[in-house]
Structure 1
Amino acid sequence: MKHKNKRMYMTLTLMLALATAAGCSGQTETNKVAGTDKGSAPSGQSKDADKPLSIKMFAGLYNEVPNMNDDYWSEWQKRTNSKLNVEWVPSGDLNTKLDLLLASGDLPEVVAVPDFKKATLLSAIKNGAFWDLTPFLGDLSKYPNMKNNLVKDAFKYRTIDGKIYSLPGSRSRVDPGIKIRKDWLDQLKIPVPTTLDEYADALKKIIDADIDGNGKKDTLGLIGHGVIVSDGDASFAAGFGASQPTYDAAGGLIYTSLNPQYTEMIAWFQKLYKEGILSKEFAVMKTTQAEELFQTGRAASYPRSIWWDKQWETAMEKAGQKNPQILNLALKGPKGMAVDLSIGGGGGFLISKQVPEAKVWQLLDYFEKTASESITDFAYYGTEGVHYTVVDGQKVLNEKGIKEVNTTSKGVGVLTYQKWGKVISASGSKAYNDAKIKEVANFDEIGQVDPFRFLVSDSWINVWSKYESEWKSMVTKVIVGQISMDEYKQYVDKINNLPETKQAYQEFAKNYKSYLGK
């Protein structure tokens, strides 16, 4: 009996020792996240390191819904040792769906967003919906790909109260271009526009010329989607100087959409609408509708990412258009060049706070893999012999590659910085891409970065969440003539003179000075 009790005592002692060790191990991991050992992943964080990491993700859809079992996605998941379960949301519905998702509080493990400073998203961050990744990342020494392969200051620009909540979707600074049908300009002997006024005149001539010869003169001028023309709003705004820091009488930094230069741009769009140059359907047009109109030769100008050009020219040829040529314009406006630059990683990936701490480390390992040169190259071209062939030293997508390797396929990983990543076409020849780079070679020098791409204000989150939808409605009303410019200006003044707005502008100014090192 004594021996039996002794064995039981030894067994209990061993169990307690193991439990204590496990508890200490858990405390060690917690201390690391709290900052005791920043950037270090917990030892033995996964017994199943060889098993694919299952990831539930919310991400934008910019092409057809992908088949996650096709050659591209099968290989992506194999290379990253992952099993992706993605809720693909059409780009035109992305912001609405994101707001609904944030309001529900039922978040997937990873939320991929096109704008990591969106007001509703910032509010969710402030309310603790996502992990603060700062202590996980530390000095990035444990994540060499994210430390060395991203655009300069990628993480600096995305801090919120000094903390990092999102990983950058790293792309190029040169991205959108104001496109025009160069072949139509040549056909009508219209010089390539160099100013915004010349651009408007050229579009008017194209519209009046019945370029498709159907006798209806139904060719559209400028098309787009969103507030005005979406991807082009910021480009046109830069031409009016709206992207340049503008201060109120008290020294507060005025939000871009509400500064006087932006209002000047609105007046210009109102004029374009009256003259039939801006599409009558601009306020309700969807992304897919705009793409179809441009590809089928129904519209002369469409601002979107430059790398679409070759794919759309090919579509135009298939639609029976002879020798179509898309040109991205460098237009001089009243107070600047109409060229918008990104910060080289405007989107982001956020990890839900509902994800256990141990899996956060695993997800960071996944994103570290995606930031490698090899995975990025795969994201742009796929597999040789399956998705592309090499012609004159240039990787060129084949028909299968064009279908499977696209904008959507680049939306689930950080990727390395590519200076011309949103300019060159994976389906274009070396000669084509060299010419396309030459076309926009000076954009990085003449363009503007809107400081509100990275500035944050707690007060502004509350202000803009109340007025953003109403402001968008007012923009549409003033452009189509339902209200006057004076009424629109009074509305803008009302928002700018709110005490909470003035407070926000002071916060923006202070935040901006900190980025400038002042």
Structure 2
Amino acid sequence: MAKKQLVFALLAAGALASFMLAGCGSGNETGGAEGSGEGGANQASAPVTINMTLPGTGLPTPDNDDIKKALDEKLGTDIQLTAIQSGDDYNNQLRVRMSAGNYPDLFTTSYTYLKEFAEKGLILDLTPYLEKELKPAKDFITNLSSEDIWKKVTVNGKIYAIPRVPDVPFSSFWIRQDWLDNLKLNPPTTLDELFEVAKAFTEQDPDGNKKNDTYGITGQKFDAFSPVFGAYGVGQPGTFYEKDGNVINAYYDPNMPEALAFIKKLIDAGVVDPELMTNKGTVDQQKAFQGKAGIIFKGWIEISKDEFVNQYKTINPKAEWVHIDAPKGPAGQFNGSFDFDMPSRYYAIPKAMEKDKAKLQKIFDLINYVSGEEGNDLVMYGIEGKHYNVVDGKVEPTELMAVEGNYFHLYQITGRPNKEYLEVKFPNQAEDIEFAIRIPRIKTLDSSIVPPTGFNKADADRYAEEELVKFVYGKRPLSEYGDFLKTLETTFKYNLYVDEAMKQIKEQGLANNG
């Protein structure tokens, strides 16, 4: 709890002042709902309805929604949350509603749609409110991420969304420790050692079943080789990042062909699952659990959670999966790439809401409250004494949290202190959580790039992936990598995308030059 207590201690003084200012600012225009922040609602007033819309599933009925009840009682609201299956359904429904003027009061969107809605004048510019009405939320978000997160919700110099605190990385290489022990090998620490261990796992019968039925590495497409790219200082294919003081796209990184050559070396040696490029869903995970491969790049949430440990232990009680550091290579040791400043959600308010100052103030109250200690605990852990208890200053979940708490995240508008939250929810994985957060990764800059008109990113990405597969499987010589880039530019207009991305990254202040 130490880090979280420090965050809230830093926020406390400013929050109190901001709440008072916000309450005074609303005056008589709020219809008696003066006060804000941590429950300053006038309980004698009629509840103010707030319609929230976001992607999600598993929301209980209002009568069984403890979080809604607690928030409504505290803030004098009637929160009506609509959770829609994420993906195209959500985006299409949202776009239809926005076009028809049937706006939710508070909703999430992607950066692409945020930019579109902002340029059409459909959503509220939040810039004037951040240092007063929304200062508690702003400070909470900034203290748990960085100032750069606000650049990710900026359009033409103005802030149009409340960014939810970024997620933390989960993934790393996992390896069968019992296989290493059986073959008297150490965990690999370099690319050469990775190759040798993968080869041994393929050729030396690590499970002792006298059958030639194992591979070194499984996974899904090029994600399986994230630490390999990292060892060459290369981000995931297609990503943008800073290198030697300049922003670069991974396809144009001079080390990309070298990274592909090492992946080809692994494939040529027969140490990679031959179905790696077509594995989908949980297929690679199940192959790993069934003892068909001994190395996989996955999130701890897919390997070390109790339910998954039970799965692979049921198949083989001696199986032991452990995380390992990324292998060192010519450019260092990076566990792939990650956009550390990418908001995990973008919350927007329709511009029309500025005409209803009472409701707008209540929306601000809600956002600020879930950013304060009391409200943040509520939306993270539920009801104290029911979903969790505090013992010696430490949050301890009850069995009911696991049963009823799967939807709480839908109310975490500004986010949470991720490490603390995850360690409470998954106490047996605390070491894996810490490991995944601290290992170095290449910082990417992609999440607020909007492709230019006339560029079809899906087609370009599809072509690029197909050609990279050809390179690593020997269907096309790496000597033709330059020709691949030329086709990417001439046929798919990738240079237009790169130029526009560089421009946007520079305008947003995410790098010194773009």
TM-score, normalized by the shorter chain, greater than 0.5: yes
Which residue, out of 145, 152, 163, partners 1:151?
145
Q: Is the 8 A contact 2:167 2:418 kept in 1?
A: yes
Secondary structure of 1:451's counterpart equals: coil
In structure 2, what is the equivalent of residue 239 of structure 1?
231
The answer to whether structure 1 residue 347 and structure 2 residue 338 are counterparts is no
The answer to whether structure 1 residue 491 and structure 2 residue 488 are counterparts is no
In structure 1, what is the equivalent of residue 18 of structure 2?
none
Query: In the aligned structure 2, how far is the partner of 1:295 from the partner of 1:385?
Result: 38
Query: In the aligned structure 1, how far is the partner of 2:91 from the partner of 2:273?
Result: 28
Query: Which sits farther off after the overlay, 367-376 or 46-55?
Result: 46-55
The answer to whether structure 1 residue 190 and structure 2 residue 185 are counterparts is yes
Q: Please give the root-mean-square deviation of Cα atoms over the aligned residues, in Å.
A: 4.5
1:260, distance to aligned residue in structure 2 (A): 2.9
Which residue, out of 194, 199, 203, partners 1:204?
199
Equivalent AA in structure 2 for residue 76 of structure 1: I
Which residue, out of 134, 150, 157, partners 1:162?
157
Q: Is the 8 A contact 2:52 2:107 kept in 1?
A: no
In structure 2, what is the equivalent of residue 469 of structure 1?
462
How is 1:69-218 mapped onto 2 (pairs within 5 angstroms)? 69=61, 74-81=65-72, 82-89=79-86, 94=87, 109=104, 112=108, 121=113, 124-125=116-117, 128=120, 131-135=123-127, 137-139=129-131, 141-149=133-141, 150-153=144-147, 154-171=149-166, 173-212=168-207, 216-218=211-213
Task: Give the unaligned 5+ runs of structure 2.
Answer: 1-21, 34-44, 73-78, 236-240
In structure 1, what is the equivalent of residue 413 of structure 2?
414
Query: In the aligned structure 1, how far is the partner of 2:49 from the partner of 2:394?
Result: 33
Shift in CA distance, 261/285, structure 1 to aligned 2, threshold 3 Å: same
Secondary structure of 2:413's counterpart equals: coil
Secondary structure of 2:282's counterpart equals: helix
Secondary structure of 1:287's counterpart equals: coil
1:335, distance to aligned residue in structure 2 (A): 1.0
1:452, distance to aligned residue in structure 2 (A): 3.4
Query: In the aligned structure 2, how far is the partner of 1:111 from the partner of 1:303?
Result: 34
In structure 2, what is the equivalent of residue 44 of structure 1?
30
After superposition, the C-alpha distances for 1:385-438 in whole angstroms (9 at most, x for unaligned) are 6555678875455665445545x7535523445363587462325xx62x4466
In structure 2, what is the equivalent of residue 370 of structure 1?
370
Query: Which sits farther off after the overlay, 487-496 or 505-514?
Result: 505-514
Q: Is the 8 A contact 1:372 1:415 kept in 2?
A: no
Q: Is the 8 A contact 1:343 1:453 kept in 2?
A: no
The answer to whether structure 1 residue 281 and structure 2 residue 272 are counterparts is no
Secondary structure of 1:177's counterpart equals: strand
Q: What TM-score does the superposition give when structure 1 sets the normalisation length?
A: 0.69
Q: Is the 8 A contact 1:305 1:423 kept in 2?
A: no
1:162, distance to aligned residue in structure 2 (A): 2.0
Secondary structure of 2:496's counterpart equals: helix
Which residue, out of 279, 284, 301, partners 2:295?
301
The answer to whether structure 1 residue 324 and structure 2 residue 331 are counterparts is no
Query: In the aligned structure 1, how far is the partner of 2:203 from the partner of 2:187?
Result: 17
Query: In the aligned structure 2, how far is the partner of 1:457 from the partner of 1:365?
Result: 32
Shift in CA distance, 253/437, structure 1 to aligned 2, threshold 3 Å: closer
Q: Is the 8 A contact 2:339 2:446 kept in 1?
A: no
In structure 2, what is the equivalent of residue 12 of structure 1?
none
Query: In the aligned structure 1, how far is the partner of 2:318 from the partner of 2:403?
Result: 23
Query: In the aligned structure 2, how far is the partner of 1:290 from the partner of 1:258?
Result: 30
1:449, distance to aligned residue in structure 2 (A): 1.3
Q: What TM-score does the superposition give when structure 2 sets the normalisation length?
A: 0.69
1:332, distance to aligned residue in structure 2 (A): 1.7
In structure 1, what is the equivalent of residue 426 of structure 2?
427
Query: In the aligned structure 2, how far is the partner of 1:220 from the partner of 1:79?
Result: 52
Q: Is the 8 A contact 1:130 1:165 kept in 2?
A: no
Task: Give the unaligned 5+ runs of structure 1.
Answer: 1-36, 60-64
1:174, distance to aligned residue in structure 2 (A): 4.7
Secondary structure of 1:326's counterpart equals: strand
Query: In the aligned structure 2, how far is the partner of 1:481 from the partner of 1:102?
Result: 45
